[in-house]
Structures are given as C-alpha cells and as structure tokens.
Chain A
Amino acid sequence: MKSLAELQAIRDKAKANINLRKENPNAARVYVGMATCGIAAGARPVLNAFIEEIAKRGLQEDITVTQTGCIGICQYEPVVEVEIPGEEKVTYVKMTPERVARVVNDHLVNRNVVTEFTIGAYT
C-alpha cells in the first residue's frame, strides 16, 4: 500500500457487498414475487437484473432489493412491487429483465412511474 488512493480503490470495490448487510429504513424497496408461480414465470432473471442495474448505478445504499412470497395475482407474474418511502406502493406486472432498466431509471431514480408496465395497464 503506497498511497491513500490505493486504499480508496479497494474500499470502493469491497463496499458494494458490505452495504447489503445493513438495514437502511429510508431505502426504497423493490420486492420481487418469488413464489413457485413467480419463479416459473421467470422472476429470477428479473431479480438479478434489478441487482445488476442498481449495482451498475451505485445505488445499493438507497435501494434494497428483496424477494417476497406470492403476491396473489399469479396470472400477472413476474410481479414486482416498488415502494419509495412516503409514496404509494406501485405494482409492476409481467416483468422481464429488459423492462428492469426503465423501472430503475424512470421510477426509482427520476420518480416517474412507468404506467404502461403497472397492473393498471393490464386490467
């Protein structure tokens, strides 16, 4: 170790994983429905796409991605719920890994709900 910059570089790299081990009550939460129906409909790649997209943007401290059980609307799986503190919960349905980047960018970062993916657009 010959400089502080070197230490900083190691720190930044290692930090992403450690941040998962903290509870941040103010973080936005992304719940991915991972019951049998969700998994069968392809929830796992969706979950991983969220993890990657959020890591790519360095937002791990502000957004927590977590899985949840059956949300109860199996025909619309994969279902993802997004909850930003102080705002109403939004339910996205028939999610795909391709749609994830838009939800992260438009909704989680810029606070514009992607209406066309929400359950309202399908019922």
Chain B
Amino acid sequence: MYRSNVLVCGGTGCTSSNSLKIVEVLKEEIKKNGLEKEVNVTTTGCFGLCALGPIMVVYPEGSFYSMVQVADIPEIVEEHLLKGRIVTRLLYQETVEDDTIKSLNKTAFYAKQKRVALRNCGVIDPEKIDDYIAMDGYAALGKVLTEMKPEDVIQTILDSGLRGRGGAGFPTGLKWKFAAANDADQKYVCCNADEGDPGAFMDRSVLEGDPHAVLEAMAIAGYAIGASKGYIYVRAEYPIAVKRLKIAIDQAHEYGLLGEDIFGTGFDFDIQLRLGAGAFVCGEETSLMTSIEGKRGEPRPRPPFPAVKGLYRKPTILNNVETYANIAQIILNGADWFASMGTEKSKGTKVFALGGKIEHTGLVEVPMGTTLREIVEEIGGGIPGGKKFKAAQTGGPSGGCIPAEHLDIPIDYDNLLEIGSMMGSGGLIVMDETTCMVDIAKFFLEFTVDESCGKCTPCRIGTKRLLEMLDKITKGQGTLEMIDEMEDLCHYIKANSLCGLGQTAPNPVLSTLRYFRDEYVSHVVDKKCPAGVCKDLLEFSIDKDKCVGCGLCARNCPVNAITVTDYIAPNKKKPAYEIDHSKCIKCGACIDNCRPGAVYKG
C-alpha cells in the first residue's frame, strides 16, 4: 500500500521541459531514502497549466509544485516525502496564501473550470489500463453492451445535445443515427485526431492523458451504428500521443475490451491507427478518409455524406477526439446530466488551448456559455506586462477574431458564428495592442495558401491572390479599392471552394476587416502600422532630448546605422545619437537596449 502519490506531468509541454528526467531522478532519490514501498511515482497527462511546467503534484497533501527543476528533487524528496515538510518555496505561489496552503481547485486557474473531457488528465497514468478502469473506465461500454439497445445509445447521445467538438458543431447523435440507418455489410467508426490549427493542442492532450476514453467511446459508437472496425487518424507529429494510443490498444486487447466477443456479448470491435503526414486538409472529413484508404489526401464533393458512403464507400462516422472523450461520461451519468451544463443550444463543456499574449498558457475546460472575459482575465490570468486586450482568435485559420467589445459574450457555437468567428476545435489565441490585425490575417492566410491541396481553383488561386493583396497592404502599396476587391474575393472563395478548408480560409480576413477596418485603412492611406509590427511601414528614430548618449544602441546595431551627433540636450552630459534611415534594417535592437526610452518607432 502506498501512502503517497507523486504525479508528474508527462504531456508534451512538460516533457519538452524535461519532466521525464525529473521522474527518473525522483525515483532514484526515493529509493535512496528507502521510500520506494511508500511513495508511488506516476507519469500522467496534462494538468493544463503548461506555462508553469514541469508540474508535479504530491497527494494526499495535494501540493502543487510548479517549474520543477531536476536540482530541486533531492530537497522535495528529503523534506516533503521523508519528513513531511512541504517545500513552500517551490509551490505554485497562487496556492500559498499567508503561510497556509490552499487547494489547487480554489486557484483562479482551476476554480471556474469543469473537467469532463479532461477529467482523467493529470490524474491517471495513461499507460496503465488499470488506472483508467479504476476511474470507471470501460464501465460505459459494459453498460451499453449488456443493458442497452443500439437505438437507446443513439437516443441518449441525441438527448444529451452533444455537438461535434471538431469545430462545425454538428449534433453527434444525428450523425450516428444517419449511419445506423444505412444497411451495409461493413461500417466504420473513425476518429479525427488530425489536429492542425496553429496553436491548438486539445486533442493531443486528451490522447496523451486519457487514450482509453477515446477507444471506449469508439467501441460504443461501433455498437450503436453496427460497425466492427475503427480507425484513428492521428498526426505523426504527435509521437507521445501515438505511443500511448498504441499501448492503450494493446492493453485493451489483452483485457479483451477490444477484439472479439467483448464482455461475452458477441460484439466484435477493433481499432487501427493511421498516421497522418501533417497535411492540414486531411483534417477535413472526406480528405481524411481518402488518406486512410492510402490515397493522396484530397477532398471530394458531398453528398454523398460519409454516413452514406464514407471510408471504402461504406457508411462511416467520423468524430473528433474531444467529442469521443465525452461519450462514456454521458452514458454513465445520463443525458440530462450532460444537458444540464452549457447554454440552450450548446451543451456540456469545451476544452480550449490558451495561447498567445496570456499569463497562463495552457489547457482549460469550461462549461459552454462561459464568457471570453472569464477565460482570458480570470482563468488565463490576463495579459502579461499590463498591456491591453485587443482581440482573441478562435477557430484557427478557419475562424475569426473576437474584439474587446464582445468580451462578455457567452461562448457557444451559435454566438461565435453570429459575431463572425467560429468555435473551431478550441485554439484560443489572445492578442494585445502590440499585435497588428492585418499581419495576423496575413499569417493565417500564408498558412492556408501553403496547405491548400490545389484540387479546386477558388481555393488554390483565390487564396494566393488574396495573400498577394494582403502583402501589398502590409508593405504600404495598397489602395482603398484593393480592400473592397479583397472583400469580394473573400466571398467568392467562400462560395465556390470544394471543401471546408477553402470555404473558411477567408474568415480571418473577413473578420479583421469587420472589426479592424481602420487598421487596414491606416496601412493604405497613412502608410502606418498602428501596432508597429509591419516593418516596411516603420521608422525607428531617436528623441535627441531624451537620449543620454550612452551609445548602447550604436553598439548593438548590426548594420552600424547609428552614429553620434554633436547635439547635447539641456541637462545631459553627452551628445545624442541618431539613426540613418537609409541603412536601418528595422531589427529593433536599438529600442530593446535603450534604457531612457529615447528610441521610438512610428
């Protein structure tokens, strides 16, 4: 019997800051102190507070150590694990309040969260099926196979109001119902784990932290629609997720929770992995299935929809990782429980990957209907450096931005569409006043131009022309007519592209035009970038009356564009410096090194 459990985050974020080495040293130190029979060390999935990684939590005390270094381990083992003295210095400081330690669940980051899809992340060892079973894992599959008819399962999912978490928000139960209604000798259940939006890592975290939840849900879906085979299409760039999925599938086989005659009910179900090579278009359902078939990942027109003719031209359902992560909980706790969370048309919770200009970069799960303000200011801890919130980008290259005026809008599928953005898979990138919205639109468009598969003309050529216009605007070569032309082209691309990639690619441009048109106009008319980002429109200068003549700027200038003048400002001892604009490459080294703040851009 262990008296203490040490959980170390083994998600991608913490692993990249050396958490696996920490586990190794921790085990050594525990052995050195003769505690190996008393203290259990577990590697878990993501805790969510990725900004503070590597993360380590010690139970039963619930002590939350953040930014743990290998060098801290001997002290933690000797003081905390051996002698019972919590090393307060190394704790996440928000949990320390006037010498007492408060529960992690009461900190701003966790207090407003509701973890359903992420419930096991940071709790269980994802490489141990027993841990998952201890958290009622596979009980939902058992219940479905022994007590429920396939139509009851579909009805439960319909009643719960669960909508697809991949972004479009199609009712999951309806998808299953369509596929179940089609007779075929073989049907398929697919899982879309081809998470491609820049800055999004929700699905990766679920797969890394709780892979069995996805396997169990796919088996349940298989039973509901009458399929015996499943495929998980996962990015090859997610090596930890792939490894844990493989382990999970093997363990499920060993226990007979996948394979033939599951629970002695005669139900067979098996799952195979397919690794995607990282093409964004393969996140689109028809491309994804084409890719599973071993062909080049390109979309095809719908209808026929996958529920009629999908993988290998057989009825198929394709759901996103996070959608599956909710299924077992809905079966166990009932449709009413799930429907009690969220807003009228969007039930349950949503996982967001918080990134950009925000204090607590990481993974959060909140009930639908939580406002953006709560997510950014309370859970996310606000914007670093006292800067002002400008906008949040949701839905990646297919989505749009939410400006400050809509901070208090309850986030759900329909509200976001109404204000010109979309839920997307859950990437949430926060931008402050130093972000140029034209530049952001250009960034996402560069991405879609790269990722367009080229099959249809509106997307292949349209996005390219759109990018060229944006590029001209950021270089000060745009005209007001060009802005109108861009808008027309956006609508044309949306209306005529073959698949979701092209149909949504202009969204970042349209939504920045909608809320930040004045920034486009400044670029075009005044030839200025208000945020000071677009280099071609910038000029660095030195305020000679502020300059103290220290010469740091000149020494740091890589092209020797800064020279000393003979002007000495009143109250200053040394002559001021100036920048030769014909030599300046606008790298910004001078402004970063100027202590009195004499260098300015504009």
**A residues 1-42 touching B (CB-CB < 8 Å):** 1-4, 7, 10-11, 13-18, 20-23, 25, 32-36, 39
Tell me, in angstroms, the Cα distance from A3 to B263 when the chains sit together. 5
- Chain B's interface size range is 35 or more
Which chain B positions have C-beta within 8 A of A59? none
Per-position binary interface string of chain A over residues 56-78, scored 1 when its CB falls under 8 Å from any chain B CB and 0 otherwise: 00000000111111000000000
Instruction: State how many angstroms separate the Cβ of A80 from the closest Cβ of chain B.
Output: 12
Q: Which of A14, A33, A48 contacts B3 (CB 8 A)?
A: A48
Chain A CB within 8 A of B318 CB: no
Of A2, A16, A33, the most chain B CB neighbours within 10 A belong to A2
**B residues 1-45 touching A (CB-CB < 8 Å):** 1-5, 7, 38, 40, 42
Per-position binary interface string of chain B over residues 76-103, scored 1 when its CB falls under 8 Å from any chain A CB and 0 otherwise: 0000001111000000000000000001
Pairwise interchain contact B83-A10, C-beta atoms closer than 8 A: no
Pairwise interchain contact A11-B133, C-beta atoms closer than 8 A: yes
Instruction: State how many angstroms separate the Cβ of B411 from the closest Cβ of chain A.
Output: 28
Residue in chain A with minimal CB distance to B147: A4
Which chain B positions have C-beta within 8 A of A17? 2, 5, 40, 134
Chain B CB within 8 A of A113 CB: no
Pairwise interchain contact A1-B257, C-beta atoms closer than 8 A: yes
Chain A CB within 8 A of B61 CB: yes
Chain B CB within 8 A of A47 CB: yes
Instruction: State how many angstroms separate the Cβ of A104 from the closest Cβ of chain B.
Output: 14
Which chain A positions have C-beta within 8 A of B262? 1
Which chain B positions have C-beta within 8 A of A22? 59, 123
Pairwise interchain contact B84-A10, C-beta atoms closer than 8 A: no
Pairwise interchain contact B83-A35, C-beta atoms closer than 8 A: yes
Tell me, in angstroms, the Cα distance from A116 to B139 when the chains sit together. 47
Pairwise interchain contact B85-A64, C-beta atoms closer than 8 A: no
Which chain B positions have C-beta within 8 A of A15? 134
Chain B CB within 8 A of A106 CB: no
Instruction: State how many angstroms separate the Cβ of A110 from the closest Cβ of chain B.
Output: 23
Chain B CB within 8 A of A55 CB: yes
- Pull 27 A–B residue pairs with CB atoms less than 8 Å apart, ordered by A: A1-B138, A1-B262, A2-B256, A2-B261, A3-B264, A4-B142, A11-B134, A14-B134, A17-B2, A17-B5, A18-B123, A18-B131, A22-B59, A23-B59, A23-B105, A25-B103, A33-B84, A35-B83, A39-B82, A47-B3, A51-B3, A64-B60, A65-B3, A66-B60, A68-B84, A69-B83, A69-B85
Known: A1-B138, A67-B83; 6 extra A-B contacts, CB below 8 A, are A1-B257, A3-B263, A4-B263, A10-B130, A17-B2, A51-B38
Interface set of B (CB-CB < 8 Å, partner A): 1-5, 7, 38, 40, 42, 59-62, 82-85, 103-105, 123-124, 130-131, 133-136, 138-139, 142, 146, 255-257, 261-264
